Amino acid sequence: MRITKLLAISGSLRAASINTALLRATARLAPPGIAVILFEHLGGLPLFNPDIEATDSPSVANLRAHLAAADGVLIASPEYAHGVTGVLKNALDWMVGSEAFVNKPISLFNASPRAVHAQACLRETLTVMSAQIVNEACVTLPMLGAQLDEAGIISHTEISAALKQALQDFQAAIARLQAEDAAQIGMSL
């Protein structure tokens, strides 16, 4: 069985982040055939500066390599002042000049229904980077708040079912997109 590899990126560096807990829980809920790897090094990226873009620091190369190895990307980010967090935008800015997000299937997890501005910003940025947002695999969860940690998310019947469903929908969409790409390459040969 071919494993669908998903890279999970949290926009929060907070130790008790609900977004990171959500992605950790998703990794543990993944059915056989789906592997979710949490990228834990966003905070180690330098601040983006076009003057140093060509130097390709090891942390930037590491993010790019993780993205290249992933069939799809899960992103969960808090909203800060009606935008995405600086740490996530910084990571995306580092990837703009490469092909890292081009045609990459993306699922957006939103842990806070009121955080509509950050989701809209994220969609706009990813779209201009030519990523493929898979709408059927995007989930907005009821306000999780501080009361639900990773274990709490896993044991919450409705939330864990929604996460498993999103993963399955994402896997199906990725398989469809990969088959379409293969057919297009076949036609152009």
Ligand X SMILES: Cc1cc2nc3c(=O)[nH]c(=O)nc-3n(C[C@H](O)[C@H](O)[C@H](O)COP(=O)(O)O)c2cc1C
**Residue showing the smallest CB distance to ligand X in the complex:** 78
DSSP readout, 68-116?
A: HH-SEEEEE--EETTEE-HHHHHHHHHHHTSSTTTT-EEEEEES-TT-H
Rounded distance between C-alpha atoms, residue 81 and residue 115, angstroms: 10
Q: Which of 72, 82, 146 is nearest to 109 (CA)?
A: 72
Identified binder of ligand X from the candidate list 5, 53, 64, 80, rule CB under 6 A: 80
User: Is the Cβ of residue 15 or residue 185 nearer to ligand X in the bound state?
Assistant: 15
Interaction mask 98-117, ligand X, x per CB under 6 A: --------------x-xx--
DSSP 128: H
Could you say whether residue 26 binds ligand X (CB under 6 A)?
no
Could you say whether residue 15 binds ligand X (CB under 6 A)?
no
Phi, psi of 158 (to 5 degrees): -70, -45
User: Is the Cβ of residue 92 or residue 115 nearer to ligand X in the bound state?
Assistant: 115
Minimum distance, C-beta of residue 11 to ligand X, in the bound complex (Å):
7
Query: Which residues of this protein are in contact with ligand X, per CB under 6 A?
Result: 12, 14, 17-19, 78-82, 112, 114-115
